[in-house]
Amino acid sequence: MSATPPAGTVPYLDVEELFGAPVRAGASISPDGTRIAYLAPWRGRLNVWVESLDDPGDARCVTADETRSVHTYHWTDDPGLLLYEQDTGGDENWHVHRVDLEDPGAPAVDLTPFPGARVMGLELPSSRPGKALLHLNHRDPAQFDLCEVDIATRVLTVLAQNPGQVAGWLYTPDGELYAQTSTAEGDIELSRWSAEGPRRIAVFPGADHPLGVSPAQLTPDGSGVWIGSNRGTDRTRLARLDLATGEETEVDSHPELDLDTRSTVFPQLPSPLIRHRRTGGLLGVRYLGERQVIRPLDPHFAEVLHALEGLSDGDLGAVSCDESGRRWVASFTHDRDPGATYLYDHTTGRARLLFRPYPHLDPEVLAPMEPVTVPARDGLALPAYLTLPVGVEPAGLPMVLLVHGGPWSRDSWRFDPLAQLLANRGYAVLQVNFRGSTGYGKSFLAAGIGELAGRMHDDLVDAVDWAVARGYADRDRVAVFGGSYGGYAALLGASHTPGVFAAAVDFYGVSNLVTFLRSVPEFVKPQLANNWYLYAGDPADPEQEADLWARSPLSRVDAIRTPLLVVQGAGDARVVKAESDQLVEALRARSVDVEYLVKDDEGHGLVNPENAVDAYRAADRFLARHLGGRPGPARQGRGA
């Protein structure tokens, strides 16, 4: 690593260096320990590649998607068969495809070839070799049945047909069925499902679990479920729920931290439970505060964990092992050295670096992401992260407030390409976990109930005031930037507190809470009781509809004078394009400065690298114009 550059000499990072496709990423080891699979570019899209570990250099691309990058794949118990998931144009109608690694010329096979259907919750249980369990709405778009597909023969069997109120299924090794439903009061009920009718096993308060009980994974013998529980405590710990008695017993807990349940929102992130590949046994548990803490629950894994954590000063990310537990592939989360991936052999104790996804990025040129605490006006402590430009005096800087999505999510210590882009341009970057964010206890979560456009937004304004008072930020040069809920927050900044922000950037954000909640997919609506309806309101109730409208940026569109950039995916199934269209049309009718970029082949997020590069180049130019950071070179975008 080179020395930290002195002030004024920090190399300029092009947007493509940060948002282009990685050289390699997302590696995992095969069950027999002889190969790795990973994601790498092929014809401009990320696809799955496979390479020998003992004879590297024979890498070959085993998927062939030229339209949309592949991000999720799975080894099966047959080392010759691999599965991957893909949607169409960002519509989130995920299909499961099979690849035959022993027949390179054979095309991928769609195991769920039902137009408009969506797969959720794919599992490959060790107790059912050759089979995949999945939730599939091929019969009724609003209802997910529990299905099993034979990976080799493609035969799909419906194990349980959804009668209309089941939100999720569990299927034990001996064939017993359990279902998760919601009560009339909004609580979450787990019941044994049989021909005699459902028998209640346990009930969880819905308000304590806005995204459902997570994790919820069967123990290997099927006699219990490992769950994330906050029953009787503020923190979420790991417990075992006995499926015969309904008794809940603690398995593990941390005195200060919640389980790391970010994978509930972002399935590509590791599960909080680290499990043995062959047996399904519990090896370790992830917790998350300012940084990650892993508690090993297995003596062998404790030795492995000690060795792996010595490979990097980052946090252990995705980790996989062969069925013997000898060979391990591990990647690391790091603010300035993202995704470094190693092969470790526990028998020999040797390790070697397999790859760095972005080898062109010098960690010493990138900016550290530092945990800080921001006090809210009512005294609530708000965990946050501050990223300051390298080689620049951190005083009176232009600043960008980055707001996370969800809102039932959280910011965490990691490599954030957007934060790095902004810091490279000379901006201070502040990311605050406002009340209602997950991962800080259920009281912190519940503090967001009823506070959209209220105290949740006050927390963001208080964060700006904190940065100004500390001398980091120039009050007249602060922008707000976010995607999804963060986009809604950016629009609130422009409409509800227009004097605070000099510019706003909205990526696929909600402009009207009423139309947003009425346009979500039908299968989502039964799950809204404990999140959107509880925290914001139900548009079916006239009084709540009026309140939702008052909390919507569109209701105060006449107050918007802040320059605004809006980015939208045309195929977005969560925040539909009409949310952005109606806002932009209203602003243009008033001649307000608004830029609008639409990507026809994207959904709720920017998956294809050229779209991300275009969008963030537009944001780079926009912020330079309104905040005075050092701009990137003008380039021609690919879509509008």
Question: What's the token pair of residue 363?
Answer: 């960690």
Catalytic choice (437, 484, 495, 580): 484
Query: Which of 593, 591, 590, 588 minimizes the C-alpha distance to 564?
Result: 593
- At 8, the pLDDT band (50, 70, 90 cuts) reads low
Q: What's the average model confidence in pLDDT over 222-249? A: 97
| Span between the terminal Cα atoms of the chain, in Å | 40
Q: What pLDDT shows up at residue 553?
A: 98
CA-to-CA distance for 322 and 406, rounded, in angstroms? 35
- Condensed to tens digits (0 to 9), the pLDDT of residues 36-53 reads 999 999 999 999 999 999
> Is 484 labeled as catalytic in the residue annotation?
yes
Q: What pLDDT shows up at residue 224?
A: 97
Reply yes or no on whether the pLDDT at 2 is more than 50. no
> Do the strands 273-275 and 282-288 form a parallel or antiparallel pair, or are they unpaired?
antiparallel
Neighbours of 41 (CB within 10 A): 17
CA-to-CA distance for 173 and 133, rounded, in angstroms? 12
Catalytic choice (335, 416, 572, 620): 572
Q: What pLDDT shows up at residue 632?
A: 57
Catalytic choice (95, 496, 604, 626): 604
As to burial, measured by CB atoms within 10 angstroms (0-12 exposed, 13-18 middle, 19+ buried), residue 392 is middle
The answer to whether 336 and 366 are in contact (CB under 8 A) is yes
Minimum mean pLDDT range among 115-129, 398-412, 502-516: 115-129
Q: What pLDDT shows up at residue 184?
A: 79
Minimum mean pLDDT range among 313-322, 325-334, 481-490, 515-524: 515-524
Query: Which of 317, 226, 218 minimizes the C-alpha distance to 263?
Result: 317
Q: What pLDDT shows up at residue 631?
A: 62
Secondary element (H or E) of residue 519: helix 513-519
- At 7, the pLDDT band (50, 70, 90 cuts) reads very low
Q: What's the average model confidence in pLDDT over 384-391? A: 97
Q: What pLDDT shows up at residue 196?
A: 85
Q: What pLDDT shows up at residue 593?
A: 87
Reply yes or no on whether the pLDDT at 361 is more than 50. yes
Q: What pLDDT shows up at residue 5?
A: 54
Beta bridge partners of 481: 402, 505
- Condensed to tens digits (0 to 9), the pLDDT of residues 527-568 reads 899 999 999 999 999 999 999 999 999 999 999 999 999 999
- At 495, the pLDDT band (50, 70, 90 cuts) reads very high
Residue reference for tokens 């999140």: 531
Query: Which of 92, 101, 18 minimizes the C-alpha distance to 520?
Result: 92
- At 638, the pLDDT band (50, 70, 90 cuts) reads very low
* φ and ψ at residue 630, rounded to 5 degrees: -75, 120
Q: What's the average model confidence in pLDDT over 438-461? A: 97
Reply yes or no on whether the pLDDT at 29 is more than 70. yes
Q: What's the average model confidence in pLDDT over 478-504? A: 97
Q: What pLDDT shows up at residue 185?
A: 82
- Condensed to tens digits (0 to 9), the pLDDT of residues 118-158 reads 999 999 998 899 999 999 999 999 999 999 999 999 999 99
- At 633, the pLDDT band (50, 70, 90 cuts) reads low
Percentage of the chain beyond pLDDT 90 is: 90
- Condensed to tens digits (0 to 9), the pLDDT of residues 255-305 reads 999 999 999 999 889 999 999 998 999 999 999 999 999 999 999 999 999
Question: Which amino acid, residue 458?
Answer: D
Q: What pLDDT shows up at residue 219?
A: 96
Reply yes or no on whether the pLDDT at 636 is more than 50. no
Minimum mean pLDDT range among 33-47, 53-67, 438-452, 507-521: 53-67
Beta bridge partners of 171: 177
Reply yes or no on whether the pLDDT at 383 is more than 70. yes
Reply yes or no on whether the pLDDT at 4 is more than 60. no
Minimum mean pLDDT range among 263-267, 409-413, 441-445, 522-526: 522-526
Q: What is the pTM of this model?
A: 0.94
Reply yes or no on whether the pLDDT at 3 is more than 80. no
CA-to-CA distance for 58 and 217, rounded, in angstroms? 37
CA-to-CA distance for 273 and 216, rounded, in angstroms? 10
Reply yes or no on whether the pLDDT at 251 is more than 70. yes
E strands, 214-272, in order: 216-218, 224-229, 237-242, 248-252, 258-259
